[in-house]
Structure 1
Amino acid sequence: MTGKNMALGALIGAYQEDDRGGLRALLPLAGRTLVEYQARCAAAAGAAPIVVLVERVPVALQEAFERLRQEGVTVVPVSDGNEAASRFEAGTLILEIADGIAPDIADINRLAELGEVAIATLPDDEAHAAYERIDGASRWAGIALIDASTLGSTAAMLGDWDLQSTLLRRAVQSGARLVRLDGPGGGPLLADSADALGGFERRLLLASRGARRDIASRALLPVFEEFATERLMETRLKPDWLVAVALTLTLAAAFAFTRGWLWPALGLLLVSTPLDLVAARLATLRLKPLPRSLWTKRALWPAAGLALVALGWWGFRHGDGGWGALLGALTAGAFGHALRTELGGEDVPFQPWLFARRNAIVAAVPFAAFGWWNLLLGILALYAASSFFLVQHLRHRIERT
């Protein structure tokens, strides 16, 4: 819904050719096609139905529509303006995305929330010379909000005119609000080749990086995370599957610790560390962020605590640590849980260096290399306790000020 609770639909152009004679809509972007990205943007803004105006539907475009359907985004292909207009109910605001436009989702949301007929604009300068001119100071950014009645009347009188350009002109003549896009993202990109989308794809990849709250994910995992994200975004792998794999590996590590398979268990934990980060980035790229309530993600910390206790149990039963090993594991787990409760999801000074699941797993490697498993449990207990008391001290100091 828009900011004024009006129904929102979407109309996407997919009939112009790229520099090689194919459809611009099929240019590759983030492992999929441009039209899939456009449709996801519209769906993320709450638009329904999503209508794609296309003269013919080649096999590659039909496959793109099918992939969208499998992701829960249904698009309706139409061949002319009259058919497009018939798909929208009276009073609907329509998010128009021009052919070949790769928009920023923030710009789409900003426009959709206005709840009135509006046109996104860019400066009339050399950098935007390929964009359609509106007046002496502005060019069309390729996204707009129009009303269903304007679409219907325009389609009825269209003849051989280009629908998206004619809609733009009529919206301007009717006094549509002009919204200048001047944010840091750079605005929508008009692309007629795969090379033109390369920089935008890189922008999407960079934007998909979430907050990194531990030093392991900031300093050690970015290379693998980047590599895995770039490869997996071209697949149909669902992001929540990766989180489930991370949870399964962690539980398998807990079992391996109980059997004394210490190095294989640590290996499983190391492999699990970047998977939820990659999953979050894939979900962001597909404009469907992982829900906070995803149980597999919430279970990662308890599963890691179980693996820690399993190592302590092995040290108690088979190592030379005795009760100290089990006590160290339980202490580390207890203070780790208390630390998470104290933080409450907020950041504090020295946040990256505090006790965390990934930090603890990575810190175990040098101790494991020398076979110092019991010492590791004692160090983790000290690490978790000192992190907890440091956060408490910082919290109380902030409260006093």
Structure 2
Amino acid sequence: MADLFGASAASVPDGAHRPLADRLRPTKLGEVIGQRQVLGPEGPLTVMLGAGALSSLVFWGPPGVGKTTIARLLADETDLHFVQISAIFSGVPELRKVFDAAKIRRQNGQGTLLFVDEIHRFNKAQQDGFLPHMEDGTILLVGATTENPSFELNRAVLSRAQVLVLERLDADDLENLARRAEEELEVKLPLDPSARQALLDMADGDGRALLNLIEQVAAWTVDQPLDSAALGKRLSKRAAQYDKGGDEHYNLISALHKSVRGSDPDAAVYWFARMLEGGEDPRYLARRIVRMAVEDIGLADPQAQAVCLQCWDTYERLGSPEGELALSQAVIYLALAPKSNANYVAYKGARRAAKATGSAPPPKHILNAPTALMKDQGYGAGYAYDHDAEDGFSGQNYFPDEMERPSLYQPVERGFERDLKKRLDYFAKLRTQRES
């Protein structure tokens, strides 16, 4: 079920307006829509409740997917007193009061389930403050976060809590929720099938958002069902969930990068468009596109980097929104280009070798000797000038004398690197002949 508001129905005076989301709040876990991965017969919450061993939890998921509702119902199922706070509005004094009240409850034989919304907003010291009360049983902590707990929560808190991922409601979940809303309101939404689907799409997997939209639509008086175009005129489309500094930002750029690497231009341009629709800075995308050219195409197509830079320059000249078309062109080019990470692998290998060999000097034969002293020390002695060789290749060693020659650059049999591999193999053959 959608993540609904915190006040209980019993606390609302008779006759007062209650939002549809509040009226449809589940009263038991079996009524929750969605989240089968945690509430199904073999789901972790079902198993914990069946064993009578509910542990502290962190719910990680987008808005409107049931975090608050499930936490409240868990308290009911386990006869724990439910306390809800928000990390946005609470500080150390409020936490101290919550812990003191929980201690008194515990002395009187009543446990406390403390639900902390937006728990990632608490700093490290505040998060550490939960630990002793979790360990001595004063509270059972259920935190909710829209951000990746691995990055936002203390390791100590995570070690004492199980992270459960709550997912966006799918199309079937949203349709079930819409039907439940129609039954509660005792009306049929005045929408034709296309408009009904458009309404579900507007919710973008957020149950609470869907109920708010349904409440608006149900109040309309129309002569005939509305189509999707008419619905669009009456409702502003809800912006897709996208936080340019949060998980969705990194999830979508990862999807774009991997689609390019996977040579799927349709998927690549789709994720590119998703990021633009979410308000991403096109210049950030331009930088990442150039990185893809260097990291995943490399010398398999030396033109790829130039294409990306040209498209970026075109964007700067045209500006938005016309310039985004040039960036889209670069994305499609990269997706269809031959792929190689040989340069990337060689670079990382060279960095590791550089760290391992420390300050080992170059061999003296490739050092310049501008002074007599340096000549006396053997600088430049025995250097073979490659242009003097018949084939333009001396085959000398250019690594430190005490370093075993590594093989860092391994071109692939794709694109232009196929030709580079032939050259590399040719020089390796000559080097072997020179050494024999």
Q: So what's the TM-score if we normalise by structure 1?
A: 0.29
**Structure number with higher strand proportion:** 1
Name which structure has the greater RCO, CA cutoff 8 Å, separation 6+.
1
Q: So what's the TM-score if we normalise by structure 2?
A: 0.27
Q: Which has the larger radius of gyration?
A: 2
